[in-house]
Amino acid sequence: MPKILLIGSQGQVGQELEKTLPEVGEVISLSRAQLDLSQSETIARVIETIKPNFVVNAAAYTAVDKAESEPELARQINAQAPAIMAQSSERIGATLLHISTDYVFNGQKNTPYLESDLSDPLGVYGLSKRDGEEFIKKAGGSHIILRTAWVYGLQGKGNFVKTMLRLGQEREILKIVSDQIGSPTWSFDIAIRITEIIKNIEKVPTGIYHFTNSGSISWYDFAMNIFEEAGKLGIPLKLQQVIPINTDQYPTPAKRPAYSVLSNQKLTDCLGSYPPYWRDSLKKMLAQVQ
């Protein structure tokens, strides 16, 4: 069985990976307390001491707005740390599986982004993640960079689904942005896909891949679906009205891409199975909310 080093085990994707990865290998999980990626000198030492076959990096600086005022820290965690992971992985002959983001794109397309499309991030977070991708490629070792988007899960503190459930219980009226389109993606499905990649690594050549749940929707329509499903599940809501608004009516420190749907075709061709539809995954996730 391969040895798998999971970095960032306490994030929303990391916690799901902790459950799914043991199916394909012996897993050594490290939380931020055990490996702080801002301490760059320890990253190489840890990887080269453990000598795993796979390094799975689920850790990241994910505070998109806060990154605008903390560019150095975002760069350290999202670009420099993955660079060290890639160099160390290359030295020990391991494959690095790294997660990246739809925010590497500027959102000006209106058809799904391909892996070959030019990146053009709009903010500090996207830029730091794009630089992380570039550093990993430059290290020259075996790697899979999996770009995903609009991640939610049972574990996430501030993810959109959990935030909507909370606000729907607290407020009667909500205003939600209706002019940003993307593909909501359940953290569990990402973990399953990464596990599948490790299991079938010979079918997935080194490179960048997209993985989201299939289908696309605006934040407003996604919120409406969350409330509809929550209602069906008997989750009590105070909410009476949801008002669609434009991005310019909800200013944030970081600009977001207006359209960031990612094509899932490349990885589907490698693995032969298509990602679950976003609404099916949302239903499964909500059914697990207590």
Is 60 an interacting residue with respect to ligand NAP (CB under 6 A)? yes
Is 191 an interacting residue with respect to ligand NAP (CB under 6 A)? no
**Which member of 6, 20, 47, 61 binds ligand NAP (CB under 6 A)?**
61
Cβ neighbours, 10 Å, residue 144? 23
Smallest gap from Cβ 209 to ligand NAP, in A, equals 13
Q: Which residues of 14-48 are buried (b: 16+ CB within 10 A; e: fewer)?
A: bbbbbebbeebbebbbbbbeebebeeeeebbebbe
**Which member of 135, 150, 209, 219 binds ligand NAP (CB under 6 A)?**
150
Is 13 an interacting residue with respect to ligand NAP (CB under 6 A)? yes
Q: Which residues of 77-99 are buried (b: 16+ CB within 10 A; e: fewer)?
A: bbbbbbbbbbbbbbebebbbbbb
Is residue 152 a contact partner of residue 161, using CB atoms and an 8 Å limit?
A: yes
Residues 77-136 that bind ligand NAP (CB under 6 A): 77, 99, 101-102, 129
Q: Is 2 helix (H, G, I), strand (E, B) or coil?
A: coil
Cα separation, 225 vs 288, in Å, equals 16
**Which member of 24, 46, 58, 67 binds ligand NAP (CB under 6 A)?**
58
162/266 with CB nearer ligand NAP: 162
Respond yes or no: is residue 125 known to be catalytic. yes
Given 125, 152, 209, 259, the catalytic residue? 125
Residue 245: phi, psi to the nearest 5? -130, 165
Which positions are annotated as active-site residues? 125
Instruction: Give the interface with ligand NAP as residue ranges (CB under 6 A).
Output: 8, 10-14, 32, 36-38, 58-62, 77, 99, 101-102, 129, 148-151, 156
